[in-house]
Amino acid sequence: MPLPQISTPSYELVVPSTKKKIKFRPFLVKEEKILILAMESQDNKQIANAVKDVISHCILTKGVKVENLATFDIEYLFLNIRGKSVGEEVEVTITCPDDGKTTVPAVINLDEIKVTTDKDHKQDIILDDQYTLRMKYPSMEEFIKTNFAVGGELKVDDTFKLIASCVDQVFSEDESWAASDCTKKELSQFIDSLNSKQFKEVERFFETMPKLSHTIKVTNPKTEVESEIVMEGLQSFFG
């Protein structure tokens, strides 16, 4: 007689970049194993791929391609899946900023972590009187390739490749050029042709991009100094 199938609960959330609702389930023991093995490897690329694979398995809404989601969507999804799987609280170790060496334990409620957006953030960059550049957010694939480089250092060439991959469209009042119709070389050449002021606006797009963020207060037990720590990005919340 076969063993019974245990039903798994499902939950719903709103994807930050698209504002669309999707359904998901907690991860199972087999998926938790994937995460544990990746964490034990201490290989950032392996960890990122494990996160992507687990999210792919846990999303129940059809038609959602994890590899095309923005990085901050992936991070937000993972935190929510983790919260429903192993608990809403995560323990982290914080280094007190007043002396830079004393560490204190802290507990963070995952429900309190939100994706924040800079009020000056914009995807459309006006290049001149004629042309506007529309940017798109880096996908998980692009994030892994560029941020988890061998040796942990991001080369200048890799940075420019990431920027070129995030070009979505160039348009004027009369014409439009979709990045999907261009080669990687053409996109790179286009980025290279920008002047310094225009390129600074492109950099600003990345600097102000939505991100996971949470502010926590800690007190240094040695100096009794209280500090506010702003934690950003998925790895800050990996207990």
How many structural domains are present in the chain? 2
Domain holding 59, by residue range, is 11-111+212-237
Q: Are 140 and 52 in contact (CB under 8 A)?
A: yes
Can you tell me the distance from the alpha carbon of 136 to that of 166, in angstroms, rounded to the nearest whole number? 5
Radius of gyration of the chain (CA): 21
Residue 117 lies in a domain: no
* pLDDT on residue 194: 95
Per-residue confidence band for 239, with pLDDT thresholds at 50, 70 and 90: very low
In degrees to the nearest 10, what's the CA dihedral of 107, 112, 114, 116? -90
Do 98 and 174 lie in a common domain?
no
Can you tell me the distance from the alpha carbon of 67 to that of 153, in angstroms, rounded to the nearest whole number? 23
Residue 3 lies in a domain: no
Burial of 231 (0-12, 13-18, 19+ CB in 10 A): middle
Do 155 and 199 lie in a common domain?
yes
Residue 5 lies in a domain: no
Do 28 and 104 lie in a common domain?
yes
* pLDDT on residue 111: 83
Residue 116 lies in a domain: no
* Residue owning tokens 């999707």: 22
| pTM to 2 decimal places | 0.77
Do 202 and 219 lie in a common domain?
no
Do 162 and 192 lie in a common domain?
yes
Three-state DSSP at 214 gives strand
* pLDDT on residue 143: 64
- Name which residue leads in pLDDT, 86 or 234: 86
Do 24 and 92 lie in a common domain?
yes
* Residue owning tokens 């941020």: 147
Do 69 and 183 lie in a common domain?
no
* pLDDT on residue 99: 92
Do 69 and 133 lie in a common domain?
no
Which residues make Cβ contacts (< 8 Å) with residue 174, sequence separation at least 6? none
How does DSSP assign 65-130, residue by residue? Answer: -GGGSBHHHHHHHHHHHHHHHH-SEEEEEEE-TTTS--EEEEEEEGGG-EEE--TT--SEEE-SSS
In degrees to the nearest 10, what's the CA dihedral of 213, 215, 216, 218? 120
Mean pLDDT of 166-182: 95
- The answer to whether residue 146 scores a pLDDT higher than 70 is no
Condensed to tens digits (0 to 9), the pLDDT of residues 62-96 reads 999 888 888 889 889 988 998 898 888 888 889 99
Residue 4 lies in a domain: no
Condensed to tens digits (0 to 9), the pLDDT of residues 9-34 reads 999 999 998 889 999 999 888 888 98
- The answer to whether residue 126 scores a pLDDT higher than 50 is yes
Three-state DSSP at 228 gives strand
Residue 140 lies in a domain: yes
Do 106 and 216 lie in a common domain?
yes
- The answer to whether residue 151 scores a pLDDT higher than 70 is no
- Give percent of the chain above pLDDT 70: 91
Do 228 and 198 lie in a common domain?
no
Q: Are 80 and 11 in contact (CB under 8 A)?
A: yes
Do 200 and 84 lie in a common domain?
no
Three-state DSSP at 133 gives strand
Do 87 and 167 lie in a common domain?
no
Residue 6 lies in a domain: no
Residue 145 lies in a domain: yes
- The answer to whether residue 210 scores a pLDDT higher than 70 is yes
Per-residue confidence band for 157, with pLDDT thresholds at 50, 70 and 90: confident
